[in-house]
Amino acid sequence: MTVPHPHEKSSIEAPISDFDPYADETLSNPYPQYEALRELGPVVYLRRYGAYAIARHEEIDAVLRDHTTFCSSAGVGLANFHTEEPWRKPSLILEADPPMHGRTRKVVAGLLAPASINKLRPTFEQEAELLVDRILEKGSFDAVPDLCAAYPLKVFGDAVGVPPEGREHLLPYGDMVFNGFGPFNERFKTRLAAAQKSIAWIGEVCKRENLTPDGFGAQLYKASDDGELAPDEAPMLVRTLLSAGLDTTAFTLCNAILSFARHPDQWALVHANPSIARQALEEVLRYESTFHSFYRTTTREVELGGVLLPMEQKLCVFIGSANRDPRRWESPDTFDVARRTAGNLAFGTGIHGCAGQMLARLEGEIVLKALAKRVKTIHLEGTPVHHYNNSVRGYDSLPVSVTAA
Amino acid sequence: MPQITYVQPSGVRRSIPVAPGATVMLTAVANDIAGIVAECGGAAMCATCHVYVDEKCLSLLPPVSEVENEMLDSAASGRRENSRLACQIAMPAGVEEIVVHIPATQN
């Protein structure tokens, strides 16, 4: 069904698709549609959104590594900031290109490098044990508030150094930000309106005087004292940390709990050998990626997968599909904690690869390991309630029961 | 054909023929070489593809970048003079062999 579309300059045309990545029914289970998209061709054109899209591992990996041709400064949502007014001031790191990007990236990457965050391990482990104590005592519970959100709200909130009161604002705030990685649709508008109180709270806690003296937040202000950041950049980067690090980790834990509840044989493997927790988390990220899609923008006319893309075109990148591409993975729809997962694109790659990925892995590994040691089985006790968001995949409710080892 | 030779902590060696430009990390992952974890997939963000480059090959490689230099401080096995991140080493044109030693642990 290859049809030329009006913008196409090339003799090689991108197949046109009616696919709607943001429809509720897609978000509930995007995988069959991803498969159709991958089969349609290496590059397709999403008619509803006037954007190109890629869903295969090979093209996605190549595009994410080529930040010169496929830039981020025009925004990582559907809107092109080069031609449209941004909905907020673009992120200093996520929506910046080199050389501006490198300066802020260096500060944030140093803060979140393994050598820096490994100091947090003992505290994170202690908190995970307390959490497992509480859920074992309950037996039956909703894993979203009681486990998946509770853990990062405590440990990530403490690590950044925000006050304990009001942290529940972090969830709608992150939700709003991640809706912004798609179109400015009704969902995004509604969440943006609903997040106004949270935006105000975040603005307050990002101020230096409201942060603990030793957290990531204080360290960003220190970097600005040292001249590594401009004075107004420190609070903006604290905001970036808070928006990027909470919902994503909570949803990753949701996807882990649900994947293991649905695949008890795989949980049995982790329970029998808790030392594979980190590897198992990586397979969760591949199989049920937290982040599913975002955009890049072409800086010049470029050929991709045989299709000539004009300059200034938005290109939707489906990393959730790359992680299920049979061209890259054997039996991609099989959840297999023993699999070698290196090369999965759950955190993106290239210069815009998630700066907090090692912190996310640390949190996820520690929670899974603590559960693996003490929880023998995880049962789903009701229908999971999906959380609809334009770019991230998670749940509002996961009724489960656990049995102690 | 040029090759990359991986030496395990046990001393076991395996050589993989490669084309110029192939990275030491991606070649290891594609050929199931143990001990190159590469969690971040080659973005110089995790230090889990840390290797010790054989002394005689060191001068054949391009210098360590600022990003790689900082990330090497995060390597789980101690950093040495010949430490590199495998994801940042591409097989240079005209070089016949690169030998890398895999450290005892990456996490």
Q: Look at residues A272, A289, A292 and name the one whose alpha carbon lies nearest to residue A390.
A: A292
- Inter-chain contact B40–A349, Cβ cutoff 8 Å? yes
Going residue by residue through chain A, which has 405 residues, state the pLDDT in tens, using 9 for 90 and above.
Answer: 444 455 544 447 899 999 999 999 999 999 999 999 999 999 999 999 999 999 999 999 999 999 999 999 999 999 999 998 887 788 899 999 999 898 999 999 999 999 999 999 999 999 999 999 999 999 999 999 999 999 999 999 999 999 999 999 999 999 999 999 999 999 999 999 999 999 999 999 999 999 999 999 999 999 999 999 999 999 999 999 999 999 999 999 999 999 999 999 999 999 999 999 999 999 999 999 999 999 999 999 999 999 999 999 999 999 999 999 999 999 999 999 999 999 999 999 999 999 999 999 999 999 999 999 999 999 999 999 999 999 999 999 999 999 999
Q: Is residue A179 part of a domain?
A: yes
Q: Does B69 touch chain A (CB under 8 A)?
A: no
Is A163 a member of any domain? yes
Helix, strand, coil content of chain A in percent (nearest 5): 50, 15, 40
Interface residue A163 vs chain B (CB under 8 A): no
Q: Is residue A312 part of a domain?
A: yes
Chain B nearest C-alpha distance from A274 (Å): 15
Chain-centroid distance of CA B67 in Å reads 16
Is B106 contained in some domain?
A: no
Cα–Cα dist A23/A19, whole Å:
9
- Give the structural domain span for B47: 3-101
Interface-testing mutation among B39, B77, B88, with chain A (most A C-beta atoms within 10 A): B39
Query: For the residues B47-56, what does the mean pLDDT come to?
Result: 96
CA distances from A108 to A101, A164, A199, B51 (A): 11, 23, 22, 25
- Say if CB A96 and CB A104 are below 8 A apart: yes
- Whole-angstrom distance, CA of residue B25 vs CA of residue A372: 30
**Which pair of tokens denotes residue A71?**
């830039």
Q: What number is the ipTM of this complex?
A: 0.90
Q: How far is B100 from chain A (nearest CA, A)?
A: 19
Instruction: Assess if residue A4 is contained within a domain.
Output: no
What are phi and psi for residue A202, nearest 5 degrees?
-60, -45
Q: Is B39 on the interface with A (CB under 8 A)?
A: yes
Q: How far is B44 from chain A (nearest CA, A)?
A: 9
Say which CATH number the domain at B91 has: 3.10.20.30
In a domain, B59, yes or no: yes
What is the domain range of residue A290? 16-404
Mutate to test the interface with B, among A282, A357, A359 (most CBs of B within 10 A): A357
Contact A341, A282 (CB under 8 A): yes
> How many Å apart are CA A131 and CA A151, to the nearest integer?
7
CATH number at residue A56: 1.10.630.10
pLDDT at A10: 43
Contact A52, A17 (CB under 8 A): no
A344 CB within 8 Å of a chain B CB: yes
**B79 interface with A at CB cutoff 8 Å:** no
- B72 interaction partners in chain A (CB closer than 8 Å): none
The pLDDT tens digits for B73-104 are 999 999 999 999 999 999 999 999 999 999 99
Cβ-nearest to A358 among B41, B45, B66: B45
In this predicted structure, what is the pLDDT of residue A5? 52
Share of chain B above pLDDT 70, in %: 100
What is the 3-state secondary structure of A325-392? Answer: CCCCCCCCCCCCCCCCCCCCCCCCCHHHCCCCHHHHHHHHHHHHHHHHHHEEEEEECCCCEEECCCCE
- Total count of domains within chain B: 1
Domain membership flag for residue B82: yes
Task: Identify which of B26, B38, B39 has the shortest CB distance to residue A361.
Answer: B39
Report the pLDDT value the prediction gives residue A4, as an integer from 0 to 100: 47
Flag whether B107 is in a domain. no
| Tally of domains in chain A | 1
| Record: contact B45-A353, CB cut-off 8 A | yes
CB contact under 8 A, A113 and B37: no
